[in-house]
Structure 1
Amino acid sequence: MIIGNILSFFAALFMVASCVVKRKQAVFFCQFLECALLAVASVFFGSLAGMTTLVLSAVRNLVVAKGRYTKPVMVAFVILTIVAGLLANTRGLVGLLPVLATVEYTICCHYIEGEMATKCSIFVNVLLWIVYSFLICDFSTAISDSIVLVVDTVAIVRLWRSERSGCRREGAAEEHI
């Protein structure tokens, strides 16, 4: 249990890093490291469904970071996640939350464009994992993911304000032309 919590802590640091880096490749590489560590931590928590979806998420994030994430690859990951997640689920409806979170983010990884959309997708994904973590009493991950959610929210608000003020400045400049 202690080893799982230590791994979860280091994984959370990579998730925080993914919320503040600017390049899409860096976001997904940080998330690759986060998912890989959490998959190992899941072994110590006895969470087979979590481990299964996290291994698939780690591989998916690496594929995205390397720029090789095509629609057929996305569909394959969605199918693998659903099948493997359902087969590994030992917690009923609660055990479906990691599957739902992973499918959400797997689809978003293909369709989202831009920093804001990526950060919003991270927000939804982390929120689902927080609910799951609290429900299975993995308070270490729930707390660290809650911190990640706050960091991501701050990043989203800052980006939104930056984009909004940028639009105002552009509009003001165009009025003077």
Structure 2
Amino acid sequence: MSAAPQTPRNQLRVGRILKAHGLKGALKLELYTDDPDGRFRAGASFTLQVPEHSKWHRETITVREFRWMNQSPVVFFEGIDDRTEAESLVRAILWVDHDETAVQPEDDAWYDHQLVGLDAVRDGEVVGRVARVDHFPSQDLLIVEVGEREVMVPFVSAIVPEVDLAAGRVVMTPPAGLFEDVAEED
């Protein structure tokens, strides 16, 4: 009798450690969450993404304290009490398990892992599949694989009016020429 295959855990990237701050183990963060005070509350645990040779590989770490210093997010972790130990975590990416059953905070907000793999549909036909989501200050882009190429689609309601997770698709109304091949000139 074989065991049922395990479903991969959905994890969200919520931050990256930028640098050590001070002498008592504080670390400055780059945030990938819109709720840093909630995500980094005391007792919150994160899985670390670091190179395999790091002593932190496959480890989890727990928040002791989170605060804002000069408008920068700074975190203290349990067991990290000096600058040397803090520096061993620089560039680590912080991941947290995501509960798919949790209520979405907004009707028109999705996590990247929910969008990746969805069919891109235009005029009722599948034109490609969402490969990834790229985030930029002005807007996000859905990167859609169309055959052997990738098409960058602005993730705005005028071009992507519908995201249907249950049906596994995003409906697109792109401007003319976005998905068509460009004719080569002689």
Q: Which band: TM-score by shorter chain?
A: under 0.3
Larger Cα Rg: Structure 1 or Structure 2?
A: 2
More helix by share: 1
Q: Which has the higher contact order (CA 8 A, sep 6+)?
A: 1
